[in-house]
Amino acid sequence: MVKRMLRSAVFAVLRFSGLPYLMREVWARDKVTIVVYHDLAADRAAVHFEALRRRYNIIPLSEYLSARAGGSARLPARALIITFDDGHRGNYELLALLERDKVPVTIFLCSEIVDTRRHYWWYHARDAAEAAALKALPDEQRVEALQGRGHCDTREYETRQALTRAEIEAMRGLVDFQSHTIFHPILPACTGERAAREIAESKEVLENRYGLRICALAYPNGDYSDRETRLLRESGYTCGLTLDPGFNDLETDLFRLRRVALPDDAGVNELLVKASGLWELLKGTRRLSFRKARWASAAPDGQGNVPAVASDGSSV
């Protein structure tokens, strides 16, 4: 409790210091901010979206991609794109808000978890520390460890965690649905064969089964290597979204688009400080440097495997 109160106080001080305003109006004014949530509650989303609308011009991902393709539309100043990863069932509760306020969002779906009672694998770890440790393992070891907990990617549980087909259909007029792989493995930790399948087949399933137009993939956990960017190109994607901190412009590598990660329980002060880029600036580039070092040797060996490495403890 004390730690949480201290954290809230820090974000309040930073917000009202005026620095987020300067960051937004000077440094990031002509750049595109992409934020990412996971399972944001509808009441908090209403507060967050209103705060963002008052300070940014919220645009759909497709508008940014159109500008990158040489479209005639000019991107507005302080452009911001809202994304959600995974396709959690709670995302459906945002429908009324999206209808009312016409806020464009993109939701990245795990193609063989949505419309099933299959579970996201990290919920079967004992705690966040164990989930982080599992992310650091070669994929086959992660799968084996989870099987020891009784979890299997294709197991159907009593409860569902993801959106249903009917919910996706109800939201598709307001939401841009894109790919988040099949089962959300850490792609650079996978064999080359599995990484290719997760990338290509998720696009095929979402297009053929749901009638969606898939052009973007968000890398699970934000982890990727040169192999993954190549596989996206070969599979017909237009872009890939990371969790590398920072902003985007008309020159940013389309397969390494940067996003600002926002906790689903963040208050408005934290939201505005992080969206401005100030928080990452104060932290330095530790996370980005760690990611690059972590997967620098992720090119597959003779078996397509990568070595086990230490975890950074970041969220899924």
Q: For the chain, which ranges sit under pLDDT 50?
A: 287, 289-290, 297, 299-316
Residue 179: its pLDDT value, please?
A: 98
pTM exceeds cut of 0.85: yes
Q: Which amino acid is at 232?
A: L
**Beta bridge mates, 16:** none
Alpha helices per DSSP H over the chain: 2-15, 19-22, 42-53, 61-68, 95-101, 128-135, 139-147, 165-171, 192-210, 226-234, 268-276, 278-283, 286-294
Domain ranges in the chain are: 2-118+153-292
Which sign does the torsion angle of CA 69, 74, 76, 82 carry? negative
Residue 306: its pLDDT value, please?
A: 38
Question: At CA 252, angle to CA 251 and CA 258, rounded to 5?
Answer: 155
Task: Give the fold, CATH level 3, of 2-118+153-292.
Answer: TIM Barrel (3.20.20)
Structure confidence by residue, pLDDT tens digits, 181-191: 999 999 999 99
Rounded to whole angstroms, how far apart are CA atoms 56 and 46?
15
Q: What element of type H or E holds 285?
A: none
Long-range CB pairs of 233-241, under 8 A, 24+ apart, other chains included: 234/200, 235/196, 235/199, 235/200, 235/203, 236/203, 237/179, 237/199, 237/203, 238/65, 239/65, 239/215, 240/216, 241/34, 241/36, 241/83, 241/108, 241/216, 241/217
Structure tokens at 263: 């906790």
Q: Which amino acid is at 307?
A: P
Rounded to whole angstroms, how far apart are CA atoms 11 and 274?
9
Side-chain half-sphere CA neighbours of 313 within 13 A: 4
**Beta bridge mates, 57:** 79
